[in-house]
Each structure stands twice: as C-alpha cells, then as structure tokens.
Structure 1
Amino acid sequence: MRRGRWDMVVCHATPDVWHRDGAFGWGKVEPCPPAGTALSIGRAMYESDRLPESWVSRINAMDEVWVPSRFAVTQFINSGIHPGKIVVVPEAVDTELFDPSVHEPLEVDLGSSSLFRFLSVFKWEKRKGWDILLRAYFQEFTAADDVVLIIKTQSFHSGDNFESKVKQEIQKAQELSQGKPPRLKLLAKDLKLKELPGLYRSADAFVLPSRGEGWGRPHVEAMSMGLPVIATNWSGSTEFLADGVSLPLRIEGLEPVEEGVKGHQWAVPSETHLRELMRWLLDHRAQAVALGEAARRHMLDNFSPDAVIEKHVVPLLRRKTGGTRASSSEL
C-alpha cells in the first residue's frame, strides 16, 4: 500500500458485490475493490456450465479474475469473460488440520465396528445429488451387506422441520431396496471446524455425486484425510480428481438446471457407475486404503497451502514484480 493506494486487492466474493455500485445489501460485504486500487483481482467460481449474466460485466471490469480450475477457464470464456484476464489459482486445503495422523475418529454410533463406512458431507440442495446418492445406495446394498452410509448435512433454505423432511426422503428411497434396507446414519446438526477431521477419520470412503461444483471443499478435505473419494467427474472438481488418486464418477450428459438460472446446465451423474464404484470399494478394502493414501499425497504435493503458493502464487507474483520475489518465504 502506497500513499493510501492498494497495490493489489483480491475480491473473494460473488461478483454481484464487486465495484462501487455493487449489491451491498447483504450487510457484511465491504465495497471491493477499494477506491484507488492499482491492480483489482476478482476470485470467482460457479457450479453450472456458464456464469450468471449479471456477473460478466463486473468480472470484465476487473484487471484479472482468479479461478480455481481449468474447467472454469473454459466456462468463463464461453460466458464472455476476456481470456487474457483469467488466471488459474487452485483452492488450497489445510493439510495440517486435515491430517489423519493427528486426529481420532469422531464417535458415531453405528452399532458395529466392522461396517464399511461411506461418508457424504453436503448442504441439502438438489445440486449436491442427494437423490442420486440415496437411490444408488439403497438399490445396490441391503442389510446383508457390511456397510453404512453416514450423511452429514445441513439446511439450505429448507425452512422448518428440516430433519423430518430429510428423513422422509430417506424413507422413500429405502423402498427401492431389494431386501431389508442397508444401514444409514443421519447427522443433521452443525459441527465445529475442529470436529470435521474427526468425522472424516471415522469413515472409510467419501462419496458425493454432485451435479456441479465450483471447487469441492469436502472432496479435498476427505482426500487430505486419506479417504478414497467417489465424486462426479465434471465441473471444478476435475482439477483434483484423477484415476489413481480418486474414483471419478462418469456422467451421462448434461441437463437443464431446473430453477434459479435460466439456460444453465449441469451434470447427470451415472447412478449405474456410482453403484459399481461403491460396490468396488466395499469389496476391495485394501485397495481402498491404498487409494486414500495416494489421495493424501496428491493433496500434499499439489493442493496444500505451500504447494499452491509455490506452484501458482509465487510465479504469478514474479511476473507482476519483474522477478523481484524469489520464494514463498517472502510472502
């Protein structure tokens, strides 16, 4: 900062609130970028195949926009963002907090210690694919299988009686089972950040057949905790999903987003492939452990804070400062 001017400001919020005429009605968002900023950078992502139209002019008015994935580069360009403004800077995961070697499993009463424990963490909205997950799980498994699905969720504009509504959807899906339904544990309560590593530690695998992600924070948290991850191979999550470190879930194509954003599309995750992947993990527990270990290494090598700084931020700042910054230790 020089003489009241910021050299560089990164605005990490929905672009609707960028610039002096932004929609500041949320009450907690300061105007960004501040007046007199020398280099204005936006940080943005979106979950469908394109951006909201209201974002485009605001993003193009910035000097740069940082996006977390190569998927987003194509998405932004196709939406009308100037290609020269787009820079890929992946999200980082706190690999020290989400470290399986320093956490004990969160106590979750499952009735048996021998069960293979699938975990899914998400807010309860259609985009997260909870309907796909429930159908696949209850059609693939029965109570005879040594398996349980743990769902950690919370309300997303769902109104009153949230937990009872979730239980009703679970009961509907249970009717799809070919016999007595398999076990399911619902955690519809808030957990503190410090409790999340223990939740992941209590699981054997993570699964989330989302229809679209800007990034996928629970995915990388689970991978950092050494869990094998089944997740949709589309949208922002493709930046870190790959064979050998995860189980990418195929899609059958795209379909219109039903509400909220006219003209947008998102993925149709394959329920058949999801069933196959979940069954494979249950039947190949040793390989599941090895896959989780590879996922942890992948996070350490590529998406830890140090890795993101060294591989993306430092080279970026070197270009902007003429090479005067030599290493991440100067940041």
Structure 2
Amino acid sequence: MNFSGIYWMGPVFDMSGYGNVSRNYIKAVKSAGIPVFIHPTGEYHAQIDHGTRQWLQQASTSAIGDRVIFIRHGLPEIFDQHFDIPNVVKNVGVTLFETDRIPTSWVALCNQMDEIWVPSQFNYKTFSQSGVLPNKLKVVPYGIDVSVYNPERPYYKYKAEGLTQSFLFTYVFGFDFRKGYDLLIQAFCEEFAVNEPVGLILKVYIHSGHSTEYVMGEIASCIPPERFQKQVFVVLESHTHDQLISLYRSTDVYISMDRASGWGMPVMEAMALGVPTIAIRSGGAAEFMNDSNSFLIEPEDRLIPVSEKLQLSRPAYYQGHHWIDVKVSNVRNVMREAYGNPMKREKVARQAAYDMHTKYSPQRIGTIIKSLLLSTD
C-alpha cells in the first residue's frame, strides 16, 4: 500500500501504560521517517515533563499528505467513534487485553477496523479465539526508548524512609487486583525472615478513581504489621521520570507479579537498564522474556477464574474470564534463587539489556511498522 503519513490518536500525555506505549510508538514511527500528526486523547498528567511535551509538539505535523493511515490507540470503544479525517486509506486500531479472552463487546468493534495491532502472539491468540478475524490481526511489538533506558545512564541511590536493607526487590504497577501484589507479598513474607537484609518496594500508581486511603488500605491489609514500611514499603507518591529510573537502578531484582499480563512495560524498562528481572512465564511478557534474560516463575498447567473483586467491579470486562494459576511456592523459589545467585543475576541482566536494545529500540519497531504499512496483504 502507498501511504503518505499517519494520523495518530492516542493518550500521549497520560502517565498510564497506554500513554507510555503511545509515545514509544510515535518515536518508532518518527525513526522510520514517517510524517505523523498527533491527536491527544485521555488525561494530561503533570508528571509528563516539559521536554517530552515539547518533543511531542515538535513531532506532530499537519503535512501527512493525501493517503493517510488513521491509527487509534486505546480501548476499542474509540474505534466506533466518528472522526472527520480527510484522505484516510486505512483504519487501524491498536489495543491489547490481559486475560484468556477479550470483552464480548470488543469483537464487533475490532472487526470493523481494517487492521488491529496487538503486541504479542499471546494476544493474537486471545483476540482470534474470541472472534476477531485473524486476517485483521497484526503483531506489532511494543518498543522502548533505549537512549533513555540505558545501563550507562547516571542515577542516584534511591532512598525511602525506614529503608535499611542491603538487597531490594521492586515492583512498579498501577493499582489493580490483577497485578498480583497480594501473591507477591505473601511469597516474600513467607520466604524471607524479618532479620534477613531483604526489602520489597511496591511503587504504586493510582488510577481508576481510587482514593489514596483505599489503595493503601487494600495493600496494607496483605502485609504483616511488623513488616509494613519496615521491610515491605508501599510508595504512593508521584515520581518524576528520573526518580523512577533511579528506583529501577537502585534495585537488585525487579519483579512483576502480574497474573494477567498484556505486555509489561515496567519489566521491559528494568531489563533495558540492565536490572535482573522476575516475571511469570505467561501472557505478553513471554514475548520478550526467556530463560536467558530473566528469572521466570512457572505457572500451573491450568487457568482459574479471575479475582472475584475484578468480576464484580468490572463485569463488562472480566465476567467469566480466566487467568493463570500460580503457586506461592513457585514464587518463593524463584525469589530465593535470584537473591542467592549473583552470577546468574549478572548474566541475565546483561542479556536482557542487549535484547531490549537490539530488538525493541524505536528504530527496530519503526522498521516493523513501516514494512507492515507498505504491505499489500
């Protein structure tokens, strides 16, 4: 297909995972030399620094020509909205989902687009098995700005009140019951004694209308009182980009306990920075994590219903859905291995940084996007 440019609609000023992904896709598109006009959606978050805002404004151009690819990035509800964009030759939806299927209402919304981009083979399978036409589905991996997430980048030692442990696990996540923080806290507290020099930092973003008090109450209820803010630290304060990178780099092992993973951008960021990582061998993360660049937790060979809290709070999205089953003992074993094996930590971290920088840079993803858009199939 001949095309002249891209009209990109997405949450580029949002601190959410969707916002992060949208910005990285635009960097990939620009690296491929494709003109792009940026139509921001979603919230405008103050944590997006001035430099990023300025770059987005400079990256956007109205000179996208007379054969335009209209790309909408976000939940499929926006696929059904009418926009009077001239000269559109192809409509593309970019989205993902985390469980074993997609919400029923998404199927028709996806099928009305010319193409649906998903980041992994995991989502190719879950979308097609849910009823999205396979010929519309294209796998376009998420990229990462390797000039920012670079092991050579200077950083300062991260500090938190009461933090004295010499070895740190860290998990960065947006508050959601599917993130498995309860499983992680249980595994950590069962595996590591109070007197061991090991700490766990939970850096939590709050969204979906939850209050700070509610989120802290939910997470604190999983932590034994003698460990709360003494060995297990919950950090709710907003962090700048530099603070977040310093947190990653001050960490001995980054761990994700996402029981329904669409991709895993924080894991990818830690890997690109050369930090050893742990995740469950499942979902979108399995697209870029393997035994040579990560510590992987084996799930059970079965699926179980998603959390009742999720099914009750968001039935349109999660009613009847399933996710992986993970034994606490498996989490404990991998955490202990990562703690006790510095040689393997160094080996997987080095391989992880190499893989992220060579396979998921904006230039690499830009090449994939350009090739896909030029395809006539």
Are positions 1:215 and 2:263 aligned together?
Answer: yes
Question: 1:267/1:182 Cα in 2 relative to 1: closer, same or farther (>3 Å)?
Answer: farther
Match of 1:254 in 2: 303
Match of 1:39 in 2: 90
Match of 1:14 in 2: 75
Matched letter for residue 70 of structure 2: V
Moved more, 144-153 or 44-53: 144-153
The answer to whether the 8 A contact 1:10-1:41 is kept is: yes
Are positions 1:297 and 2:297 aligned together?
Answer: no
Aligned partners of 2:164, 2:212: CA distance in 1, in Å? Answer: 34
Are positions 1:168 and 2:220 aligned together?
Answer: yes
Question: 1:167/1:215 Cα in 2 relative to 1: closer, same or farther (>3 Å)?
Answer: closer
Over the aligned positions, Cα root-mean-square deviation in angstroms equals 2.6
- How far residue 35 of structure 1 moved from its aligned partner, in angstroms, is 5.8
The answer to whether the 8 A contact 2:151-2:353 is kept is: no
Aligned partners of 2:348, 2:268: CA distance in 1, in Å? Answer: 14
Aligned partners of 1:42, 1:166: CA distance in 2, in Å? Answer: 35
Q: Secondary structure at the match of 2:337?
A: helix
Pairs aligned (count)? 306
Question: 1:272/1:35 Cα in 2 relative to 1: closer, same or farther (>3 Å)?
Answer: farther
The answer to whether the 8 A contact 2:295-2:338 is kept is: no
Q: Secondary structure at the match of 2:354?
A: helix
Matches within 5 A, 1:148-227: 148-156=199-207, 157-162=209-214, 164-166=216-218, 168-172=220-224, 183-227=231-275
Are positions 1:91 and 2:142 aligned together?
Answer: yes
Question: 1:18/1:197 Cα in 2 relative to 1: closer, same or farther (>3 Å)?
Answer: same
Question: 1:285/1:182 Cα in 2 relative to 1: closer, same or farther (>3 Å)?
Answer: farther
Residue by residue, what CA displacement relative to the aligned partner does 1:147-206 show, whole Å, maximum 9, x if unpaired?
11111113244335146415632434x68x9xx998222211111223221110110111
Matched letter for residue 81 of structure 1: V
Matched letter for residue 250 of structure 2: S
TM-score normalised over the length of structure 2: 0.75
The answer to whether the 8 A contact 2:181-2:219 is kept is: no
Aligned partners of 2:170, 2:203: CA distance in 1, in Å? Answer: 8
- How far residue 105 of structure 1 moved from its aligned partner, in angstroms, is 3.2
Matches within 5 A, 1:43-192: 43-109=94-160, 115-156=166-207, 157-162=209-214, 164-166=216-218, 168-172=220-224, 183-192=231-240
Identity %: 29
Are positions 1:241 and 2:298 aligned together?
Answer: no
The answer to whether the 8 A contact 1:128-1:211 is kept is: yes
Structure 1 regions of 5+ residues with no counterpart?
22-30, 323-331
Aligned partners of 1:181, 1:9: CA distance in 2, in Å? Answer: 47
The answer to whether the 8 A contact 1:116-1:147 is kept is: yes
TM-score normalised over the length of structure 1: 0.84
Residue by residue, what CA displacement relative to the aligned partner does 1:89-143 show, whole Å, maximum 9, x if unpaired?
1000111111121121343147677711111001222100000000000000012
- How far residue 12 of structure 1 moved from its aligned partner, in angstroms, is 0.6
The answer to whether the 8 A contact 2:186-2:222 is kept is: no
Question: 1:36/1:58 Cα in 2 relative to 1: closer, same or farther (>3 Å)?
Answer: farther
Aligned partners of 1:294, 1:206: CA distance in 2, in Å? Answer: 15
Q: Secondary structure at the match of 2:296?
A: strand
The answer to whether the 8 A contact 1:300-1:307 is kept is: no
Aligned partners of 2:178, 2:288: CA distance in 1, in Å? Answer: 20
The answer to whether the 8 A contact 1:233-1:250 is kept is: yes
Aligned partners of 2:102, 2:163: CA distance in 1, in Å? Answer: 46
The answer to whether the 8 A contact 1:142-1:181 is kept is: no
Matched letter for residue 375 of structure 2: R
Are positions 1:279 and 2:336 aligned together?
Answer: yes
Aligned partners of 2:216, 2:283: CA distance in 1, in Å? Answer: 31
- How far residue 4 of structure 1 moved from its aligned partner, in angstroms, is 7.9
Aligned partners of 1:15, 1:35: CA distance in 2, in Å? Answer: 21
The answer to whether the 8 A contact 1:138-1:182 is kept is: no
The answer to whether the 8 A contact 2:150-2:272 is kept is: yes
Aligned partners of 2:245, 2:350: CA distance in 1, in Å? Answer: 16
The answer to whether the 8 A contact 1:147-1:182 is kept is: no
Matched letter for residue 12 of structure 1: H
Question: 1:254/1:34 Cα in 2 relative to 1: closer, same or farther (>3 Å)?
Answer: farther
